[in-house]
A and B are shown apart, each in its own frame.
Chain A
Amino acid sequence: MLNDDVNEKLTLETIPTIAPSHRFQWEEVQDCHVILYPEGMVKLGNSSAEILKLCDGENDVSAIINKLQQLYPDAELDNDVNKFLEVAHENGWIKYK
């Protein structure tokens, strides 16, 4: 099944990782990061890509927020990061480890 943890809730301790069926990579011609999956592709905006770069199986959600906060000290990130991760999870791009 695509997503066996579909009902799992996101917490600060969740460690999100790119789903094994998906690939996250930089595309020179498109000039953006993309998510690739069976027979499809999604182009990502900068902030989405910054979050996904940190979904490496090491960082939990609070570490992701902290690291992004260092890059963007003035931004209020908590909500945006949580929301994006939930959408990414719903779409099957990431797994909650």
Chain B
Amino acid sequence: MKTAGSNTNKVNPPLWLLCELTYACPLQCPYCSNPVEMANFKKELSTDDWIRVMREARKMGATQLGFSGGEPLTRPDLEELIAEARQLGFYTNLITSGLGMDEKRVAAFKKAGLDHIQVSFQASSADLNDLIAGTDAFEHKLEMARAVKKHGYPMVLCFVLHRQNEPYVREILDLAVTLDADYVELATTQYYGWAFHNKDYLIPTREQLANAELVTKEFQEKLKGKMKIFYVIPDYFEDRPKKCMDGWGAIFLTITPDGLALPCHAARQLPGLELPSVQDHSIDWIWNDSPDFNKFRGLDWMKDPCRTCPEKEKDLGGCRCQAFMLTGDATNADPVCSKSPHHQKVVDTVEDIGRIAGTPELEERPVLFRNMKNSKEIIKKKTTETI
């Protein structure tokens, strides 16, 4: 077997272990990165499986550990997993909506050794927040954010930005200041999973982005040293792709609720992957030797225009999932790149949205909320198409 990329270069150990503990979630955000077929993957790893995964990854050198989902709070063994992770020496991050938490649990996590809590918000007002989340969540999120600070955690507030909440970036940052956040992530929607289905609802306009950037800059200067604000331009608006996941199999190791190991949390959809399970293989084999983790590692897998591009080491060809979703071939250049023959497709999408944003033609298109019912319908539709 040819191990692309690893034949000349030593493979660095994973630094980030993302444990997606469950696909269950009380929220229905239409930009969720979980697979739309999630209703097919209901089986979850046991506590013992997760502990073994954490031990093996830590032994290899991973230092950062994220508990996410779905909503990780739905796992009753979360306290136990946190305690084990901390005892192993991980810096432990809980990535949560706040639903399923109360102050007692915030305190219990602290006792178990949790280092940091990231709370997501959908918007800066209850109305818009709860509309996007598909449930009443805003007031509880506020309460939980206060509890997180009260119990001495560093707090990251995460806002996923898109056309519906992008006009309120000032209000969003004001809210972050009020809640005494240490870090704010203004995370632009990535068009995978559910977000890909809801692109029409989510893609912002150029004017919105220009305004959001200005406001963010103002707050970054005003709060220098006090609050770190991370803001990334959505890559549909760029002409060079992002260095996705810092490289395939370079830093990140994601484990899905049902135990599959992925180089990125969106990769489950890519065709041609073997999707090794932690129930059949060691983390060491998966990271170093599995065909999946070597498939797009390094530079050897590239074809033109990436193969001969002087910038290939800078962005490593961009995102494999985006290449697959927009061109049908995961080995193509990420079409965000202006050197990609498919780049026009991205430009057209952005221009179409800009042209009709605010009109009923666009704004009244149906939104596909992330829930098991919609997931089942998508699966049914796909099965019918194949037959």
Cβ–Cβ < 8 Å partners of B276 in chain A: none
CA distance A38 to B155 in the complex (A): 8
Choose from A2, A23, A34 the contact partner of B183 (Cβ within 8 Å). Answer: A2
Cβ–Cβ < 8 Å partners of A30 in chain B: 61
Contact in complex: B13, A1 (CB < 8 Å) = no
Question: Does B156 reach chain A (CB closer than 8 Å)?
Answer: yes
Q: Which of A23-71 contact B (CB under 8 A)?
A: 23, 25, 27-30, 34, 36-41
Cβ–Cβ < 8 Å partners of A4 in chain B: 226
Nearest residue (CB) in B for A3 is: B225
CA distance A36 to B90 in the complex (A): 9
Nearest residue (CB) in B for A28 is: B61
Choose from B93, B152, B223, B227 the contact partner of A38 (Cβ within 8 Å). Answer: B93
CA distance A4 to B223 in the complex (A): 11
Contact in complex: A39, B182 (CB < 8 Å) = no
What sequence of 0s and 1s flags, for each residue 98-127 of chain B, a beta carbon within 8 Å of any chain A beta carbon? Answer: 000000000000000001101000000000
Cβ–Cβ < 8 Å partners of B61 in chain A: 27-30
Cβ–Cβ < 8 Å partners of A21 in chain B: 115-116, 153-154, 182
Q: Identify which of A2, A28, A92 gathers the most chain B CB atoms within 10 Å of its CB.
A: A2
Question: Does A90 reach chain B (CB closer than 8 Å)?
Answer: yes
CA distance A29 to B11 in the complex (A): 13
Nearest residue (CB) in A for B156 is: A38
Contact in complex: B227, A36 (CB < 8 Å) = no
Contact in complex: A41, B226 (CB < 8 Å) = no
Given A2-B183, A23-B91, check contact A37 B154 (CB 8 Å).
Answer: yes
Question: Does A73 reach chain B (CB closer than 8 Å)?
Answer: no
Contact in complex: B226, A38 (CB < 8 Å) = no
Question: Does A6 reach chain B (CB closer than 8 Å)?
Answer: yes
Choose from B15, B66, B153, B182 the contact partner of A2 (Cβ within 8 Å). Answer: B182
CA distance A28 to B62 in the complex (A): 11
CA distance A41 to B15 in the complex (A): 9
Question: Does B299 reach chain A (CB closer than 8 Å)?
Answer: no
Contact in complex: B118, A38 (CB < 8 Å) = yes
Cβ–Cβ < 8 Å partners of A34 in chain B: 63
Contact in complex: A37, B225 (CB < 8 Å) = no
Given A4-B226, A38-B156, A41-B15, check contact A27 B63 (CB 8 Å).
Answer: yes
The 5 closest A-B pairs by CB, nearest first: A29-B61, A21-B154, A6-B225, A36-B91, A38-B116
A residues apposed to B, CB below 8 Å: 1-4, 6, 20-21, 23, 25, 27-30, 34, 36-41, 90, 92
B residues apposed to A, CB below 8 Å: 13, 15, 60-61, 63-64, 66, 89, 91, 93, 115-116, 118, 152-154, 156, 180, 182-183, 223-228
A2-B154, A36-B63 given; name 6 further pairs at CB < 8 Å: A1-B227, A6-B225, A21-B115, A37-B91, A38-B93, A39-B156
A–B pairs, 27, beta carbons within 8 Å: A1-B182, A1-B226, A1-B227, A2-B225, A3-B226, A6-B224, A6-B225, A6-B226, A21-B153, A23-B91, A29-B13, A29-B61, A30-B61, A36-B64, A37-B116, A37-B154, A38-B116, A38-B118, A38-B156, A39-B64, A39-B66, A39-B118, A39-B156, A41-B15, A41-B64, A90-B225, A92-B225
